[in-house]
Structure 1
């Protein structure tokens, strides 16, 4: 015999209705909680509505002051001075400095011409007349002859320092010197990898002969010249 459930005792029969009632109740409680407002209790008296006692109100006394007018100013009449008539003054005539047909024309030889200043130091690459190395007097290209004679002078006087050989020193020494107005060598500057190599390079430059100085517009000037000397062990 099969057991049958009683429909009146079925718990899930009205579950949707109960869920809807519960949801509506929760939403109602949430709305009431959000819209709930509280106020501070009102006091029984208001400060602005207090009645003041008239006896405590003091009225300032009314005073009267008499204003005194300033004394009138007495103005003295102006003093009129009679000045004698001025003597007749001669007008000064300013002569014009503009030339006219009567102006005498000066000779061109009498006009002094200011020459442009010449710099005392002119680079080797732009100087008009380069310094002349001894032996290059009759050469047409004295600039190329100067550089060739410098290379010959370095090769002829080159000597590898013994200290540099012991220390296995190699490198290039950059030299810069100035050929003075009298053809002598001065203002030597050096930059190299070691002091020993710089000393040997200075010794080679010190043996340069006196040269014919460079000229700019016919005037002797100082001419700087740069050249490297390479030290290499074989």
Structure 2
């Protein structure tokens, strides 16, 4: 036999009503809690406190002690003053004059003359000399004078040197190097000629040719004439 439920006993039909009643109750409880009055708790009288009361500080009484002043030594005893009687003669000190009289002869010591030693400047290289030696006929600034000097020395060597000498000596064909060095002294003369050549006769010929160089205008260093060293290589072609 199947049991049938009564439609009125089904609580699901009243769920909306129950929810509304619960919501109304929750709002009522919240309202009562908000409207409830509260009062501050009171405590017994603790008395009044004066915050502006100053604390009295006990200041110790100090006594100022003056430092002891150092004792000054007594003044020195004055020297004994000798009293001279009026009748006693006192010797006076006579100061002699250092001035000479016109009648006295004045002795003058002989003054020894010191010869001024001329500063000797050593020989300077042609490449670093302040004012280079000047080959006759060359003009221009220092660099132009250097180039002209070398050019004229090469021209002099080519014109004066015996070009047939290397062939006559039977040297092997090819290029032969000759190194020449000399100095232009403080008077402009060519001195200290040195040569290095592949044959002694060529060396003698080179020295002879360099001795024929004309007199130069001497080089100057710090404004004074000095000796100037010069060197130059030459190439000989032997056929």
For Structure 1 versus Structure 2, the TM-score category normalised by the shorter chain is: 0.3 to 0.5
Taking structure 2 as the reference length, the TM-score comes to: 0.45
Taking structure 1 as the reference length, the TM-score comes to: 0.46
